[in-house]
Structure 1
Amino acid sequence: MAGTNRGSRREDGGRGVRSAAALAGALALLTAGAGLGAQPAGAAATYAVKVQLLHAAGTQSEIHVWDRTTWKEYDVPVADGADSGTVALPAGDYLTIANYTDWTVRTGFVPKTFKVASAATTVTLDADLAEPTGFTVDDPGAGPVMTDAWYTLPDGQPAAFQVGWGRQLSAAPITLAGLTLNVHQVLQKKGAGQNRPSPYRYDLFHQFHDGSPASPVVAVTTAGLARQQTSVRAQGAGISATLWGTASTEDGSQSGTYLDTAVPLAVSYTHYLTPGARFERYLEYGPHSVSLPHLELPAGDAGATEYVGRAPFTNRAAQFTASGYADGTFSLNESASLSDAYGHEGLDNESRTTYRVTSGATVLGASSVLSPYDTYTVDAAASYTSFKINHTVLRAGAQSRLSSRVSTDWSFPRSALPGGGTGTGKLPVADPRLTVGGLDARNRAAAGPVQVKASLVPRVEGTTATLSKVEYSKDDGATWVVAPAAGTPGTYTVTVPADAAFVALRVSGTDSAGGAVTQTVLRAFGGPAAENALKVGATSVGTVVVNEGKTFVPRLTGQGAVTATFTATDPSGISAAGVYLYHGSYDSPDGIVNESVPADCVKRPASSTYDCVAAIPVSGRDRIGLNKLAGTWSAAAWAFAEDGKSFFSGPVPGTGAIKRSSALTVDAAPEPVDPGATVTVTGRLTGSAWEYGASTALAGQKVELQFRKAGSTTWTVLGSGTTDAKGAVKVTAKATVDGGYRLKYAGTSASASCYSSVDNVDVR
C-alpha cells in the first residue's frame, strides 16, 4: 500500500532529491556565504554549519534549519545518498529537523536545537535515538498499516512531512515550547488485503505538544473512540474499494498525504476515529473516485449507517469545477461526471469524455476524446440564437460495470445565457437526478417492478424544470419502453425482465428558461441475469496472453507484476485499453487483480489493430490474499475507440495460472556411507500462505527422491514419500556410488513445483 499526495507536498515525497547542477549551484552559493568567498558590503557575517545525520545510511534524507527568532527556513543541501550537508547561517538560535526514509524499512525524524556564535560548527543528529511513534489499541487483531507525521513549528507553519509503513515511522525526543509532533496512523485487521478487506479501519490522530517525548506512543481503547458504520455498494465485480483519508489539526494544517486501506463492498465496515479530530476522505473503486464528507465525530456510536455508491452514476455540477459561460465562450468541464445517487461527487480517471456544441445545423465545436479533468472551450458568437451541448462519458473495467455510457443533451436559447449572452455565470441547464428503489448491495434489481424516482435540478437559481418522460431498456439501448408514472409525483415504474443483466434509463424534460435536457444512462443498474460483455460499435479485443503462457508465481510480500499482452482493434484507432484478471465467474468473481495504469498500446503499420501490453501488480499477501485463489485466472479487457463512440468491456479468451510458491529442504545421511548401506533422505515441504504473509507446511503431498551419480548429468528416480502434517518427508535408498541426492515436488493446480538443493554423499 502507499500514501498518495493530494495537497501541496513535493512529488519527491520529501526526500530532497535534487539535480547535480542544482546541487553544485547551491554549494557555490553556500561557499560564498560561509566566508570562503566575497560577501556583500554590510551583510551580516555567516558561518558554515555542517549538519550530519548518523546511523541513517542507505536512506534518502532531507535536512532543514529554522531561525528560532524569526522562523526563517534554511534548506541544507544534501546530495543523493549522503548523510550531511552544510549551510551558511548568521549567529543565532536554531532548530534543525532531519527526516529520512528507505520506505518500507525505516522512516523517521531527528530534531535538535543548536546555537551559532562566531565560528563554523558541526551539528550531529543521531537516528538511533528515534523511537517508533503511533498507537496501541486494545484489539489484538488490529495492526498498523501506515503512519503519517509532521511537525508544526511554534509560529504555526507545518514542517518535515513523512510517511511510514506499519510502525516504522520514528521520532527522536526533543523538548521545545510550541513545537508539535502530529501523528496520524491507520490500523486494520492483520492479514487484510485487496481480496480480503478488513471489516474495520482505525484512523487515529494525536498531537505531542512542546516537542516529542522519549516514547511517542499513545494507548487508546476502542470504547473511547468515535465509531461510524459505512456501507459501500458494489458497482461491478469488485471485492473491495479503497478508502483514503488524511487528518488535520485544529487550525486546519495537514500533511496533504492520504493513507489507504481496502474496505469491503456490499457489506458494512466499522470506522474507528479519534474523537474530535477531523478526517478528510475519498473512496476509490479502481480508477473511479467518490468524494466523501469529512468526519469529525464525538466518542461513541455515530448512529445511522453511512451509505456510498448507489446507482445510477451520473454527472452533476461539481462544487468547485463546473461548466460555465463567460465573454462569449463556453468553458465545458463536467468533472463530477460519475457521481452516485446519494449525491457524492465522483469521476473515473480512466473514463473518456467528449463534448459537441451545435447551433441548429452548425457545429461550433466537437472535442477529441478527453480525460474527465480536461476543460473544452467553444466560442459562441452573438449571431447564434440557440445552442445544443452534448456531453458523453464512457468507462469500463472490473469495478465499473455500471453507467458504461452517460450521454447528456442540453439545449437552450441564447436569452438563457448569463446577461442574455453578455454576462458570466453557470450554464443555463438542468441535471437529471435518478434514484432506483429495491437495489441490493451490488446495485442489482430482482425481476419485476421497481420504482425510479426522477427529477431535474436547474443549475441557475430561479429556474424551474419539469420532467416529461422516463424510459428504460433491457438490451443496452437497442429498444426503449416508456415507464408509466406511479402514484407519487416524480416516481415511475420500471418492470425489470428476468433475462436482463442490466437496465438502461433515459429521461427527458424542459425548464422555464426555454431549455430542454435528455440524458441516457447505459447500464444504469444491474438486473437478475448474469453480467455480460458490452460491445458498442466496432471495437474488439483479442486473446489475452498472461505471463507468456507460463505459470506465474508471485512474491509472497512486496510487489511483483504479471505481464498480459493482447490486441485491440477499431477502424478509428484505440485511445486507451486495459486488462484485468478474475478468479471464478465473470458475473461474480471471488478475486480480482487489475492493472494500475492502462496498457501501453502501439498501432501496427497500415492497420487498425494495436498491440497492447499491461503490467498487473500481483503479490501473494496484499494483492491476492487468499490461498483458495491459487490456480486458473481468467482475463477480461476493455478498450475505447479514438472516435469516442465505440468501446468494448468484458471477458475475452485467455487464462493464466497463478500459484503459491513452494520450497523443499534436503538432508541425506549418513555422510559418508558404506557400500550397500541405507541412505536416509529427509526434507520439509512448505508453501506460501497468502493469508498470513508467511510459509506453511504442505501436508499429504507426494515428494520424489532423485539421484545423480558423480560426474553425470542424468537424474534417476529412487523412490517417493508423502509429507506428514508438518510437511516432513523421509525416503530411503541403497548407497552404491558417490553422488548427489535431491527431492522434487511436482506441484498441484494451486502450488508451484520445486526442487530441493543437492546433498552429495560419498560412498567409502
Structure 2
Amino acid sequence: MADSSRSHRRTRAAAVLGGAALLLGGVGVPQAGAAPTAGYPVKIQLTHVDHVAPEIRVWDRATWKAYEVTVPEGEDFGTADLPTGNYLTIGNYAGYDASGTQARFLPKTFSVGTAATTVTLDADLANPAAVNVDEPTAARVTADAWYTLPNGEAAFFANGSGATLYAAPVTLPGLTLNLHDVRQKRGSGPNRPSPYRYDLLHRFTGGTPASPVVSVPTAGLAKKRTTVRAQGAGLSATVWTAAVADAEKGLSGTYLPAHVPLGTAYTHYLTPGASFDRYLEYGPHALGMPGMTLPAGDAGSEFFGRAPFTSYASQFPASQYTGGKFSLNEPASLSDAYGNEGLDSGGGTTWRVTTGAGALLGASGVLSPYDTYTVAAGSHSSYKITHTVTRSGAHSRLSPRVTTDWTFPGSALTASAPLPVTDPRLTVSGLDGRNRVPAGPVTVKATLVPRTDGTTATLTGIESSTNDGVTWTAAPLTTSGATGSATVAVPAGAAFVSLRVTGTDSAGGTLRQTVTRAFGGPAAQTALTFGSTTIGGVVVNEGKTLVPTLTGLGGYNVTFTATDPSGIASAGVYLYHGSYDKPDGIVYVVAPAECVKRAGSTTWDCTAGFDLSGRNHLGLNKLAGTWSVAAWALAADGNGLFSGPVGGSATIKRASFLTANATPEPVTAGGKVTVKGTLTGSAWEYGAATALAGQKVDLQFRKSGSTTWTTVGSGTTDTGGGVTVSATATADGGWRLRYAGTATSASKSSTVDYVDVT
C-alpha cells in the first residue's frame, strides 16, 4: 500500500463557511511594521472603566505608522516609547451590565514633546452609537463598529450580540467611525424568528461626533425578499452579514448573526449602496450567499437552501492530481440545488482510493470534512475514488449520507490539474418551503458537469428509493447528452426519497452519486438507521425539571449511551416540542457530546451540555411543558449511523415569582394575620414577568423552633396576580405563601415573614 498523509491546511472556503465572526482584515492588531521604537515613555491610562486588560493602539498622525503598546496583564493602562510627534490613540474594552455587553471606543489625539507623558482616556466621555429606524418594533440584535484611518486602513473592530456600543468624541480629518447595526423584531429568537432584518451601515466622517446616533427611514432603504428553505426540523436558520470596509484591500467587518425564518420569506432591509458579504448557517451546515450592494427600493426576491444537498465542484481548489499524488478535498460537499456552496462542519468524511492492484487509501475511519488528504497515485491503468459525507442533527434531516463513486483511466491524469471526474447537478420539481413534496409524480432533472476542460459527459440513469436505499427503482429517462430528466412517483407513505444518478464521460470515466433522503415526502418523518449503531439510556438534567431564567444562561446536560462495534466517532442530542415530524420548538445542543468508551465494551457513555434561556432560546410561553429527545451517533468506521427520536423526555417550566407581606406585626393572640402577595411568571415572549391569574395559592405557617410548615388557608389570584389570605395567629412564627405550580409553571414559595404574637 502506498504511503498516505494528511494535511491540516484548511481551505479559505471552509474557513468562511464554517466559522463565526470571521475577521478578514488586519483587525485589532498593529499594522505591518509596528515595533517598539526608541523615544519617550508614554502611559495611556483608561479611567472610569469596569474592565481591565484593554486593547490600546497608537498611530503617528504624519505617517500613520503603528507603534506597539504594552498592556500589563490585568491592568487598565498601556505603555509605549514614542518619538516626538503627533499621535492618535484608540483604547477599546468590553464591559457588562444588566443590559448585556458594552463595547467602548476611546479615541484621542495627543502630542509627545521631549519628556515622558501620560494620556488619559475617560470612558465616561463615550456615548452610545446607533443607527435607528422608524420601525417601532425593531430592536438591536447585534452591532459592529470600526475606525478607518486617514490612510484607508481599518484600525479597530468591536462587536457583540445585543451590545451597546459607545464611542468617545474626537475630531480628526480623514478618521471615520463605521457602524454596522443589525435590527430585528423585538423578542425574536430561534423559535420565534423575526419577519424582517435590517443591516444598516453609517460612516461618521472626520472623527466621532458627540452623539454618534443617526435615524434612517425604512422607505429610503434597499429591500429584498429572502426565502430560506428548511432541510430539517428547525424553525430558523442564521444569516451572517459583514459590512465591507474596503473591497480592494479585502477588508470586511465582523460577520454579525441573526435568526431568520425557515420555509417562508422575510424582508431584508439594507443601507443603499453599502456592500455586505454574507453566509447562511443551519447549525453546523453553512451555505455561501452572494454579496449584496443594492440601490434604494425593491430589489425583488431570492431563494436559498433548495434540496437536494450534494457535493459540488467548488470555485475554490477541490481535489487535485499534483506531483504524482492525489490531494483529496471537497470543500463544497453539501451544496444546495441553487448552486450555493456548502459544507457541514459537524459531519464526517470517508475516502477510499483503489486500483486494480488494491487499495491506496482505505476508509479506516471518519475524517474531518475540512482537511486535505494526500495519497501517492503511482502508475495504474485505472482508479476508483469513493467520497462519502455523513451528517446528522436537528438542522439537517436531508442528505444524511452522500456517496460519490468516480472511476477514471490513468491516462486521463494531467500534471497539476483537477481530478478528471464529473459532478452531477440535481433539481426536483414541486418542493415546498420545507423541501417536501405531496404524493404523486415529480420531475428530477440532472446535468453532468466535467471538471476537465474539453471533456463531455453523458447521463445514463436516475433511480429513486423510498426506503433509504434498501431497494431502488430506475426511472424512465429522457436525455440529451449530459442533461436529462425523469419522472419519479412519490407514494403517500414515503417520508423521504433518495436519489441515485449515473453517467460516463469522454475521458473514459464513470460517475455514480447516491443521495440518501434527497428530499422529503408526504408521510411523517422517521428515524434513520445505517448499520448497527444504537442509542439508549437518555436522561435530561438528571431527571429533574428545567426551570430556565428569563434572560440568563442556565447550564444543563443530557446523558445517553451510544453503541457500535467499530466505536463512536461523534454523537449529539437535541430537544424538540410537539411531534418529531413537525416540531413547534427546538432546543439545540450545539456542541457534540463528549463520549467515553466503557472498558471491554462497544458502548460509549456520552454527555452533552447546553445552555437555556427562557426568552433567548425558547421565546414562546406555549413551549412550556413536556419536551422529547432526539439523538444521533456516527460509527467510527463511518458505516453506522443512527439519527432520530429516542426514549427520554424533559419537562421545561416557566419560572414563578411570589411575594408575601404579613400584617399586622406584632399581632394579638387569637387575632387575624393577613398575608398579601403577588404571583407572576416568566413571559418568554416579552422578556418580563407577567401576572398569573386564577391560580390557587396556599398560606402556610411554621411555629418558631419548628421545621414543619402547615397549610392554614388558601386563596385564588386575581387578574393582576394578587392574592390575600388570612388566618388566626396562635404563636410566634413565620408565614409564607406557597404556589404548587402547574404542568407549565414552576412551583414557588415566597420569602418568610416572621410575626410575633403578644
Q: TM-score, normalised by structure 1?
A: 0.93
The answer for the alignment partner of 1:185 in structure 2 is 181
The answer for the alignment partner of 1:129 in structure 2 is 125
CA contact (8 A) 1:161 1:255 kept: no
Alignment of structure 1 residues 371-382 onto 2, 5 Å: 371-382=368-379
Are residues 1:671 and 2:665 paired? Answer: yes
C-alpha distance in structure 2 between counterparts of 1:406 and 1:328, whole Å: 28
Closer/same/farther in 2, CA of residues 15 and 690 from structure 1, 3 Å limit? farther
C-alpha distance in structure 2 between counterparts of 1:333 and 1:594, whole Å: 29
Closer/same/farther in 2, CA of residues 316 and 167 from structure 1, 3 Å limit? closer
Are residues 1:97 and 2:113 paired? Answer: no
Deviation at 1:166, TM superposition (A): 3.3
Give SS of 2:173's match.
Answer: coil
CA contact (8 A) 1:233 1:267 kept: yes
How large is the Cα RMSD of the aligned pairs? 1.7
Query: Counterpart of 2:21 in structure 1: which amino acid?
Result: N
Are residues 1:243 and 2:259 paired? Answer: no
2:445 to 438, 453, 456: 453
The answer for the alignment partner of 2:157 in structure 1 is 161
- For these two proteins, the number of residue pairs brought into alignment is 730
Deviation at 1:318, TM superposition (A): 1.2
CA contact (8 A) 1:149 1:255 kept: no
Are residues 1:213 and 2:209 paired? Answer: yes
Deviation at 1:274, TM superposition (A): 0.4
C-alpha distance in structure 1 between counterparts of 2:570 and 2:245, whole Å: 41
Closer/same/farther in 2, CA of residues 493 and 251 from structure 1, 3 Å limit? closer
CA contact (8 A) 2:24 2:251 kept: no
Query: Counterpart of 1:408 in structure 2: which amino acid?
Result: T
1:648 to 636, 642, 647: 642
Deviations 1:634-671 (A, max 9, x none): 00000000001111100000001111101110000011
Query: Counterpart of 1:413 in structure 2: which amino acid?
Result: P
Are residues 1:201 and 2:193 paired? Answer: no
Query: Counterpart of 1:549 in structure 2: which amino acid?
Result: G
CA contact (8 A) 2:574 2:630 kept: yes
C-alpha distance in structure 2 between counterparts of 1:740 and 1:528, whole Å: 61
C-alpha distance in structure 2 between counterparts of 1:392 and 1:178, whole Å: 53
Deviations 1:10-48 (A, max 9, x none): 9xx9599xxxxxxxxx9xx98xx7xxxxxxxxxxx6111
Are residues 1:542 and 2:536 paired? Answer: yes
C-alpha distance in structure 1 between counterparts of 2:545 and 2:227, whole Å: 37
Give SS of 1:623's match.
Answer: helix
C-alpha distance in structure 1 between counterparts of 2:251 and 2:719, whole Å: 52
Give SS of 1:389's match.
Answer: strand
1:747 to 733, 741, 755: 741
CA contact (8 A) 2:91 2:105 kept: yes
Deviations 1:602-635 (A, max 9, x none): 0000111000000122111111110100111100
Query: Counterpart of 2:446 in structure 1: which amino acid?
Result: A
2:494 to 494, 500, 505: 500
CA contact (8 A) 2:242 2:253 kept: yes
Of structures 1 and 2, the one with the larger relative CO (CA 8 A, separation 6+) is 2
CA contact (8 A) 2:443 2:487 kept: yes
Are residues 1:725 and 2:741 paired? Answer: no
Moved more, 364-373 or 278-287: 364-373
Alignment of structure 1 residues 563-712 onto 2, 5 Å: 563-712=557-706
1:265 to 239, 262, 266: 262
Closer/same/farther in 2, CA of residues 714 and 558 from structure 1, 3 Å limit? closer
Query: Counterpart of 2:335 in structure 1: which amino acid?
Result: S
The answer for the alignment partner of 2:310 in structure 1 is 314
Alignment of structure 1 residues 162-561 onto 2, 5 Å: 162-166=158-162, 168-252=164-248, 254-303=251-300, 305-367=301-363, 368-382=365-379, 384-418=380-414, 423-485=415-477, 490-561=484-555
C-alpha distance in structure 2 between counterparts of 1:167 and 1:589, whole Å: 31
Give SS of 1:283's match.
Answer: strand
C-alpha distance in structure 2 between counterparts of 1:555 and 1:59, whole Å: 28
Query: Counterpart of 2:510 in structure 1: which amino acid?
Result: A
Deviations 1:219-259 (A, max 9, x none): 10110000010111111111100111100135555454211
Deviation at 1:8, TM superposition (A): 4.7
Give SS of 1:621's match.
Answer: helix
Closer/same/farther in 2, CA of residues 650 and 689 from structure 1, 3 Å limit? same
Give SS of 2:211's match.
Answer: coil
Deviation at 1:317, TM superposition (A): 1.1
CA contact (8 A) 2:459 2:479 kept: no
Deviations 1:572-593 (A, max 9, x none): 0000000000000000000001
CA contact (8 A) 1:672 1:763 kept: yes
Closer/same/farther in 2, CA of residues 15 and 618 from structure 1, 3 Å limit? farther
CA contact (8 A) 2:398 2:520 kept: yes
Deviations 1:87-143 (A, max 9, x none): 111111111000110253321101111111110011111111111111111100001
The answer for the alignment partner of 1:6 in structure 2 is 22
C-alpha distance in structure 1 between counterparts of 2:253 and 2:606, whole Å: 35
Closer/same/farther in 2, CA of residues 607 and 487 from structure 1, 3 Å limit? closer
The answer for the alignment partner of 1:757 in structure 2 is 751
C-alpha distance in structure 2 between counterparts of 1:128 and 1:412, whole Å: 69
The answer for the alignment partner of 1:49 in structure 2 is 42
Are residues 1:71 and 2:64 paired? Answer: yes
Give SS of 2:101's match.
Answer: coil
CA contact (8 A) 1:60 1:101 kept: no
Q: Unaligned stretches of 5+ in structure 1?
A: 17-25, 34-44
Query: Counterpart of 2:621 in structure 1: which amino acid?
Result: N
C-alpha distance in structure 1 between counterparts of 2:457 and 2:626, whole Å: 53
CA contact (8 A) 2:45 2:78 kept: yes
1:120 to 116, 119, 122: 116
C-alpha distance in structure 2 between counterparts of 1:479 and 1:361, whole Å: 31
Moved more, 670-679 or 532-541: 670-679
C-alpha distance in structure 2 between counterparts of 1:381 and 1:696, whole Å: 72
C-alpha distance in structure 1 between counterparts of 2:51 and 2:88, whole Å: 24
Deviations 1:56-87 (A, max 9, x none): 12254111111112212123222343211221
Q: TM-score, normalised by structure 2?
A: 0.94
CA contact (8 A) 1:594 1:617 kept: no
Deviation at 1:360, TM superposition (A): 2.0
CA contact (8 A) 1:59 1:102 kept: no
Identity of aligned residues (%): 63
Query: Counterpart of 2:725 in structure 1: which amino acid?
Result: V
Deviations 1:367-420 (A, max 9, x none): 4311110111111112x11111000001111111000110000000111111xx
Query: Counterpart of 2:141 in structure 1: which amino acid?
Result: V
Deviation at 1:682, TM superposition (A): 0.6
CA contact (8 A) 1:433 1:454 kept: yes
CA contact (8 A) 1:148 1:255 kept: no
Query: Counterpart of 1:402 in structure 2: which amino acid?
Result: L
C-alpha distance in structure 1 between counterparts of 2:403 and 2:594, whole Å: 28
Deviation at 1:330, TM superposition (A): 0.4
Query: Counterpart of 1:258 in structure 2: which amino acid?
Result: Y
C-alpha distance in structure 2 between counterparts of 1:620 and 1:636, whole Å: 21
Q: Unaligned stretches of 5+ in structure 2?
A: 1-18
Give SS of 2:542's match.
Answer: helix
C-alpha distance in structure 2 between counterparts of 1:408 and 1:545, whole Å: 38
Moved more, 188-197 or 559-568: 559-568
Deviation at 1:336, TM superposition (A): 0.5
The answer for the alignment partner of 2:13 in structure 1 is none
The answer for the alignment partner of 1:86 in structure 2 is 79
